Structure 1
């Protein structure tokens, strides 16, 4: 009988939980069903800031921006012999689809409900109706498909009102605008797929390029170290073009294959991407070829009016600190380097624009990079002095303070030695009295919880 009552009570409890959960779901659904979506701060559509706006507010804002853009003048395509006006009736903006795409981009799965949505930058959805009349005006020397793509890319960010048509023989006018060769580290074993994807990369004018989307996400096996090598090389090349760097992260260390400031990092797990925007007027193609342990990478495009180069300036070395660690079991005068010190560095990277006549016409700061120094860690035996009465004292290095030894010749466990690690900085290191640690220099023994290696 008691068992029956227990089962009955259990059923009642389960039914109560079900009803409560269902009611909570209904209330929650009713509560959020009509909540307006607000886009994350920093989000933009077509270059228009829609951060902290609802969908309706974003639509209204974009429509107003499009009208202002149209009122600035006609949209003109310059051909070799004429200027062709593209009527605005032939240009279709789908604002609602643009806003819907933004909503889809920031939409999160149920298990990520409490995570913060990242800001997004999307183009406007635009299409151009190419009539027979426009085709006649373009003529046979124009690559219509590429020209229309250039028009749509430009308008999708409400860009300039005048572009140059893409010639049908543009490929014949291509040239190598930047080229470099780097030695591949010996332990990089999965470069083949990366190179295959690199050779497929082209960045049309007025378009963005994402390394994670275009390369990393398309290979069957991705090594972050090899990805950093490739993207660093690509970064060095794109510094010699007029692209805009939307997102670039430093590795925080100076890799062996490059120089300070000329490196980049991409990470799927940390969501760190490398994104550039080609503001035009020409498409940029990537070429990559491996010969032995050397990777040769280049950029091909129609020869630009201006040329570009990068400059590393204001390089400053940052001294490292020395951390002294003491062990009473070592012979007097013992000194061992547990970790060599390495200087840090600060650099600034600039892009220089040079005209066709060789005149420097612009200098743009691209990045400021800082590489932390690596502290030097020394293992020392405490200095010992013999006093006039025959007793021994241990002198604390760098402080002039003395610590008296116990009867068995050891330093008390609560006796600390102040160790100077740099100008104005002091760290504490304690002696080890564990018999198992005697006569060893294993770095893990001397690691202190407040010392960062």
Structure 2
């Protein structure tokens, strides 16, 4: 064999030898290589597998705590199936180089530790995670791949009503002609998930209602749930008069023309899911939290109730016969009432908050008479206003003691009986029926 052929053969053999050495024993040459949290820099393939398996074995000997909301589930480290060989192969693919590039340093690289669920793990978590099991399992395995020494955490992104826990509810009876419109409105509420610390606006979530009454019915049901859930009330407007669809102090008026919105903030560390349905002639709205979450300890109640007497207003009607009088509007007393909320914290402390002072104007009896001596100004059509001093749109930081008696501020410039007799009659239709408001010129 000629010298030239021998040189060529030795060159090829030498190159192949270097190639196999490079493949079987990957040297980091000062670069960093990691499989999950395991540093395998400068190791051969066999050493990588051995070192990674050793750390995985230690981790799997411990019980693993998984926090799902406020619920804790303990599983075994053996409930996770680690594929160390596949993890090593993934790293080798990243740091591998062409055979002819054996002289350049190996690049730094890291890969996730390959880990899969076991059937035992799924059986333990599926009763809690429900429809979210597949999605949440992927997130859980990403955490496990880092072999953490702290509890694993899962935040429920969604859940069914059957899997959830009801924390509040409100029911409002509807008129027959309101059922269809309210049913349409529920489609923008039912099944909606509101995230922690997210603000919900009625206009943004539900839209502009067909009428003030329809919007206020839905808003009132949402408001009552927000109160019972302990959420922060960012904006709420009361009605001018007592409403027949809910108790005093429990309504939330929606008025697009004046941008009267309802806004509340989910002030908790987990999401809530809203349920809104019309069953028969009843609107039912409920809030849910995921299984395992802690139900808030909240009590909502009213106090400081005081009646405001109604008056009588006479109005001339020339079409009536001589000496004839006719009552055209029945009287209804007004009301002042306060709404309080009491929340018991996890530490057992009780916080009592005044949520709103509500003033409802009285409806005076209107009597028409043919007596020409009774002089009454002509009615003026306008939208009645609610004095701002009787609206509380935000949570107050005031926490009265049990001995405190909070009396709502009386209406300013309350008219006398004589002034009411000469009051201007203003027409409105914000109520179930047409009614009159009486304005006194000062």
> Rg: which structure is higher?
2
Whose relative contact order is higher, 1 or 2, with alpha carbons under 8 Å and at least 6 apart?
2
